[in-house]
Copies of this chain bind each other. A is one copy, B any other.
Amino acid sequence: MAKNLTKRSEDYSKWYNELVINADLAENSGVRGCMVIKPYGFSIWEKMQAELDRMFKETGHQNAYFPLLIPKSYFSKEASHVDGFAKECAVVTHYRLKDDGKGGVMVDPDAKLEEELIVRPTSETIIWDTYRKWIQSYRDLPLLINQWANVVRWEMRTRLFLRTTEFLWQEGHTAHATKDEAVAETEQMVNIYAEFAENFMAMPVIKGLKTESERFAGALETYCIEALMQDGKALQAGTSHFLGQNFAKAFDVKFTAKDGKQDYVWATSWGVSTRLMGALIMTHSDDKGLVLPPNLAPDQVVIVPIYRNDEQFESVSEVAKEVMTELRAEGIRVKFDDRDTYKPGWKFNEYELKGVPVRLAIGPRDVENGTLELARRDTLTKDSVSREEVVSVVVDLMSEIQKNLYVKAANYREENTTEVNTYQEFKEVLEAKGGFILAHWDGTVETEEQIKKETKATIRCIPLDAKEEEGSCMVTGKPSNKKVLFAKAY
């Protein structure tokens, strides 16, 4: 604990791994590619969950739960879905172990399943198999359901939070009577994700559409939010899919309209995952550790007492507890760390590593002077504040720090977004600077593939707010009417 991290400038990837582990966010487990989310990391995820869940419910969604295990044959029902999804996944073939006679256990060969079960990589198939029974009439629509769940996708190269074999996520699955309603839902959800990213994670994102080759398997249109990390690489932070009638047709989900006509329903699905934790870390943190926006910090303020003897501890604690009570009355999450098993210096490092937005320290001299020492995690500045003003100062700081982190990240993104006109320029910028690059593209899969192959950059999205302009593809010279967003990506 509290040891120095590798500097970001030295090795960003190493810095990330050390931060995740040393800040007690997560660690690798004894199970290949699967992480353990530690209590501190999980408490941040719980905050994210709570806000997203509230936003989903405020827009009329309900939670439900569908089986973890999905019969293999379900994945064959929607042709493009099976190609994209059902391959790298955990397959259950047996349902019993038995003693191996050597003090261990072995798989019982007599307990082989007739049909193998797949640990869900995503739940469209099992959910649409269920919706067939739930939807008969226009009265049953729209059906607006979300699930918080674990999913498994067999990944060969894993990184904590960013790419793990098992991860936690939410997946929304909705059914609508009309195409327009389904498209509106898809757009609503990508807007909710963007709002969450910006207002809670303090992370600016670009909303856009995925190109055909980057679309979700089975979707007609995939909306996404893309964020730029501190190392100049992009991270896809959430997706919302318009599925058309593909799954309704594959699973025969029809409804009778008011006028008595029958039609297949229109579908969407949308999700964000524990990957957001990785995005949060790589948007704000520094060489001293995690930096948390107050809106998601499990502890927004920590108070550390400084003392040499019991008497000093008593008088310092008295003030600390008063301040804690007053801050809590303002709705602020405060921790008073009065453990005598660690020294103040150790605690200072620990809370810097863990990204607590504001640290208050109070010693005997502060008690005499009627002051406290206030340290901001985002700016690493320290100030003396008076006992009278400390509560209002901290209350104001919560929104100021939240805003400051957003502005800092937005400035970084702006500085690292480059518009280019030629492929040569594109390669140079990508090499020298990285970041987001806006360039004209001819709209073909072939050109996209060529760029990816030659530069490792991909089209992150076609931004929703891209301005219409006449131009020509930087590679082929064919006409293009807007610039699209390129980057190397996580």
Contact = CB atoms under 8 A, between A and B. Distances in A.
Contact of A91 (B31, B95, B103): B95
A490 interface: no
Interface residues of A, number: 66
B104 A73 contact: yes
A38 interface: yes
Task: Tell me the dominant secondary structure on chain A's binding face.
Answer: mixed
A484 B71 CA distance: 45
B93 A93 contact: yes
From A65, A69, A75, A79, name the one whose CB has the most chain B CB atoms within 10 angstroms: A65
A42 B66 CA distance: 11
Contacts of A69: 31, 34, 90, 119, 152, 165-166
Given A91-B93, A168-B65, A70 B126 contact: no
A329 interface: no
A150 interface: yes
A72 interface: yes
A33 B86 CA distance: 22
A360 B65 CA distance: 31
A66 B26 CA distance: 10
Chain copies in the assembled complex: 2
Contacts of A103: 76, 79
A260 interface: no
A63 B91 CA distance: 28
A43 interface: yes
Interface in A138-154: 139, 145, 149-150, 152, 154
Contacts of A91: 92-97, 107
A87 B342 CA distance: 45
Given A42-B65, A69-B166, A88 B82 contact: no
Given A39-B62, A97-B75, A126-B31, A68 B152 contact: yes
B93 A34 contact: no
A64 B38 contact: yes
Contacts of A94: 90-91, 93, 116
A3 to B, nearest CB: 15
Contacts of A90: 69, 92, 94-95, 117
Contacts of A104: 73, 76, 82
Interface in A346-389: none
Nearest to A149: B150
A35 interface: yes
A37 interface: yes
A36 B68 CA distance: 10
Nearest to A127: B36
A115 to B, nearest CB: 9
A152 B96 CA distance: 12
